């Protein structure tokens, strides 16, 4: 009557051992999976942030970091020959009377263009910018930064 006790206990112990063993294996697998997943997530987020920062700076036409990233990425940039074909001139404020008609602003660095500064006049739309500012922009874009019109028109479009 009292002989089935020990066997029952042994079975219990066996079961417990098996259970704990399988738990340990599961824990290890889960830990490895979690580590891999977190590594992947961190990598993806890092890449996304880098891309967002690069495009954001380039889009806003930032002066420092934007210039570096814009010159590195050479997508859809204007060819040097097409760039030099854009007329370059020394800005003259002009003798026009009338309020606001005598000055111009560079939309890239947001500074007022002063008399005698060298500017480029985009033939497609007539917008003008500092030579340094627009050259930097046109190395990675083929459009006017102000109105997005194609710079150089058909010639540039055919080349790309
Ligand atoms: Zn400028
Ligand atoms: Zn324009």
| Domain of 47, in residue numbers | 1-60
Ligand nearest to the CA of 146: 2
**Do 30 and 97 reside in the same domain of the chain?**
no
**Strand-strand pairing, 118-121 and 88-90:** antiparallel
Surrounding ion ligand 2 within 5 Å at CB are: 125, 127, 144, 146-147
Ligand 1 mean position, distance from CA 160 (Å) = 26
DSSP symbol at 127: -
**Do 55 and 85 reside in the same domain of the chain?**
no
Ligand 1 mean position, distance from CA 133 (Å) = 5
**Do 69 and 56 reside in the same domain of the chain?**
no
CA 142 – CA 78 distance, rounded (Å): 5
Model confidence pLDDT, tens digit, residues 6-33? 555 555 655 655 555 556 677 878 777 5
Model confidence pLDDT, tens digit, residues 52-97? 666 655 555 444 444 444 444 446 788 888 898 899 999 988 644 4
Ligand 1 mean position, distance from CA 79 (Å) = 21
CA 129 – CA 144 distance, rounded (Å): 10
Decide: 109 and 63 in contact? Cβ < 8 Å: yes
pTM tops 0.75, yes or no: no
Surrounding ion ligand 1 within 5 Å at CB are: 106, 108-109, 130, 133
**Do 86 and 16 reside in the same domain of the chain?**
no
Strand stretches in the chain, DSSP E: 88-90, 104-105, 112-113, 118-121, 128-130
Ligand 1 mean position, distance from CA 108 (Å) = 5
**Do 75 and 124 reside in the same domain of the chain?**
yes
């Amino acid at each position: 009557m009292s002989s089935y006790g020990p066997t029952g206990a042994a079975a219990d112990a066996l079961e417990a051992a098996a259970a704990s063993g399988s738990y340990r294996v599961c824990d290890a697998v889960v830990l490895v999976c979690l580590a891999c997943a977190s590594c992947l997530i961190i990598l993806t987020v890092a890449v996304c942030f880098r891309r967002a920062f690069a495009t954001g700076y380039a889009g806003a036409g930032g002066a420092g970091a934007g210039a570096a990233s814009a010159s590195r990425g050479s997508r859809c940039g204007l060819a040097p020959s097409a760039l030099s074909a854009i007329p370059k001139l020394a800005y003259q404020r002009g003798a026009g009377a009338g309020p606001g008609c005598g000055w111009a602003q560079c939309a890239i660095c947001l500074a007022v263009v002063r008399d005698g500064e060298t500017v480029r006049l985009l033939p497609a739309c007539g917008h003008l910018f500092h030579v340094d500012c627009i050259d930097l922009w046109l190395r990675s874009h083929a459009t006017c930064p102000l109105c997005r019109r194609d710079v150089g028109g058909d010639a540039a479009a055919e080349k790309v």
